[in-house]
């Protein structure tokens, strides 16, 4: 039996179809375990994005080298969402944004 190569590919849903904006979302910022990380995240949301957020410390890694911060905020559009992931991951002491 041969595969039908003329079958249309299934399209992935677009972001706008998955999330209705404005949306209250929680992000995980994983960073180096030091006192500056929470201040850096707070300044990023307040000064650069100018949106309010709630930040709470999460778990430390098994070795104690990294810490997770949970950041909850209201995202008004997909551009801000993308900026949080892209620019957030570029912040000093931040390893990943999930």
Tell me the domain boundaries of the chain.
18-97
pLDDT at 1: 54
Q: In what order do the strands lie in the sheet with 53-60?
A: 53-60, 66-75, 23-32, 94-97
Identify whether the C-beta of residue 43 lies closer than 8 Å to the C-beta of residue 87.
Answer: no
Phi-psi region of 14 (alpha: psi -120 to 50; beta: other; left: phi over 0): beta
Identify whether the C-beta of residue 60 lies closer than 8 Å to the C-beta of residue 66.
Answer: yes
pLDDT at 6: 63
Residue ranges of the chain with per-residue pLDDT less than 70: 1-8, 16
CATH topology of domain 18-97: Alpha-Beta Plaits (3.30.70)
Euclidean distance between CA atoms 55 and 11, whole angstroms:
36
């Amino acid at each position: 039996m041969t595969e039908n190569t003329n079958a249309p590919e299934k399209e992935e849903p677009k972001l706008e179809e998955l999330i209705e904006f404005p949306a209250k979302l929680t992000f995980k910022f994983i960073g180096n375990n030091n006192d500056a990380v929470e201040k850096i995240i707070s300044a990023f949301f307040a000064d650069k994005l100018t949106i309010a957020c709630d930040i709470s410390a999460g778990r430390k890694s098994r070795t104690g080298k990294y810490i997770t911060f949970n950041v909850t905020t209201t995202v008004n559009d997909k551009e801000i969402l993308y900026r949080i992931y892209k620019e957030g991951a570029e912040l000093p002491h931040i390893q990943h944004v999930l």
